Amino acid sequence: MARHVKSGFNIVRLLIKRGFTLVELLVVIAIIGILIALLLPAVQAAREAARRSQCTNNMKQLGLALHNYHDTHNVFPPGGLEYGWSAASTNYEPAGKLIKNLNGLVLLLPFLEQTPLYDRYDFRQAASHAGTSGQTQSNIISSAYPVAGDAVTSGNAAVISTPIAVFHCPSDPNDNRLPDGSCYGIKTSSGFRAIMTSYDLSGWTSDINYYHDWDKLSVTGRRMFGENSNTKMASVLDGTSNTVAVVETTHRCANGYPPAWGMRGWVMTGIDIAQGINVEDIPPTWTWVNPLTPVKGRLRTWGMAGSLHPGGCNVCLADGSVRFISETTDRIILTAIATMAGSEVVEVP
């Protein structure tokens, strides 16, 4: 028995003697750290690839919804309805107008498996009071006409404050809620905050200057969507495979605010890809912007195309297909694919 106990002690002593030294332990930890450092970018790349795939799928659903809407109504939805704000003139306002401030994306809800939400929306009343008394600012020319009903008591505010997955790019982690009130919100002190969209209809930034001017614009420079637009498939003379219909954007911009999926507040004219993609640099004279240095995912100003995907952003063409457009694409090409009847001979890159 004593011999066996002694043998056991010897085994324990041997195991203790064969344990890791401090140097060996540090070497192993260093190797593990190096392996993790090598593996992490691959994991992040795989996650971004999955997020980009989901973003592409979202845009395909929007493209299909646009076509189903056109098949049902023989026209695409308007880019928006009856805005309460303008930057330069009240020209073209139709007599008897009632301010709606509606984003045309709301009309796609039944084709995006959101019929219960669509049924809650009252189209006789406004989505937002932007541009009206108490929700304007010095550089806004308010509409000469009254707001249609009330966005809050109608229940519309609750509808457009609802997050919908198909309107959100999973690569964008920033806050997707607009302010409560102001010229960018639903109604001041209502407690409701409209939900931003990562994808908006293709529009022209100069639409900010006039009311109801989409059909007054030159056909050659016209985008597919605008205030009270009524584009049909036959209107896309440049070809549906060469014309942008839906463009990706981000939840942050240095000047103004990004768009909401349910309403059109100040400067929410749609996304104009002709302004460039992922333009994040800030002019040094914009002293109201903090910081002035570029911030990843923060676009320079409203109505710009961009994403948090490396190198560019997704677009949905008028034929329903989705392409990833590089941020280095020439502005001449971007302008050509933004217009629907410019007669340019160009293919989407």
Q: pLDDT tens for residues 272-310? A: 999 999 999 999 999 999 999 999 999 999 999 999 999
Q: What is the pTM of this model?
A: 0.87
Give the integer Cα–Cα distance in Å for 261 and 315.
16
The per-residue pLDDT of the chain, averaged, comes to 91
The mean pLDDT of 167-189, rounded to a whole number, is 95
Higher model confidence: residue 16 or residue 58? 58
13 confidence band (pLDDT: 50, 70, 90):
low
- Token pair, residue 43, equals 């994991």
Higher model confidence: residue 230 or residue 7? 230
> How many Cβ atoms sit within 10 Å of the Cβ of residue 67?
18
42 confidence band (pLDDT: 50, 70, 90):
low
pLDDT at 22: 72
Q: Closest Cα to residue 247, out of 343, 105, 73, 85?
A: 105
DSSP β-ladder status, 252-255 and 298-301: parallel
**Sequence-distant (≥ 6) Cβ neighbours of residue 242 within 8 angstroms:** 317, 336, 337, 346, 347, 348
**Sequence-distant (≥ 6) Cβ neighbours of residue 182 within 8 angstroms:** 130, 135, 137, 188
pLDDT at 134: 85
Lowest mean pLDDT among 37-41, 49-53, 213-217, 263-267: 37-41
Q: pLDDT exceeding 90 applies to what percent of the chain? A: 77
Give the integer Cα–Cα distance in Å for 285 and 213.
31
For the cut 60, the answer to whether the pLDDT of residue 17 exceeds it is: no
pLDDT at 11: 46
For the cut 60, the answer to whether the pLDDT of residue 7 exceeds it is: no
Q: Percent helix, strand, coil in the chain (nearest 5)? A: 35, 15, 50
The mean pLDDT of 311-335, rounded to a whole number, is 96
For the cut 50, the answer to whether the pLDDT of residue 15 exceeds it is: no
Q: Closest Cα to residue 207, out of 257, 266, 269?
A: 269
For the cut 70, the answer to whether the pLDDT of residue 70 exceeds it is: yes
The mean pLDDT of 103-115, rounded to a whole number, is 98
Amino acid at 248: E
- Token pair, residue 323, equals 């392409």
- Token pair, residue 328, equals 């280095």
Q: Closest Cα to residue 244, out of 319, 183, 193?
A: 319
Q: pLDDT exceeding 70 applies to what percent of the chain? A: 92
**Sequence-distant (≥ 6) Cβ neighbours of residue 307 within 8 angstroms:** 55, 169, 171, 172, 198, 248, 249, 250, 278, 313, 314
The mean pLDDT of 103-122, rounded to a whole number, is 98
Query: Could you tell me the end-to-end alpha-carbon distance of the chain, in angstroms, rounded to an integer?
Result: 85
pLDDT at 20: 64
141-151 pLDDT, tens digit per residue, is 999 999 999 99
User: Are the C-beta atoms of residues 203 and 272 closer than 8 Å to each other?
Assistant: yes
102 confidence band (pLDDT: 50, 70, 90):
very high
pLDDT at 18: 58
Higher model confidence: residue 204 or residue 42? 204
The mean pLDDT of 57-67, rounded to a whole number, is 98
Q: Closest Cα to residue 349, out of 318, 319, 320, 317?
A: 317
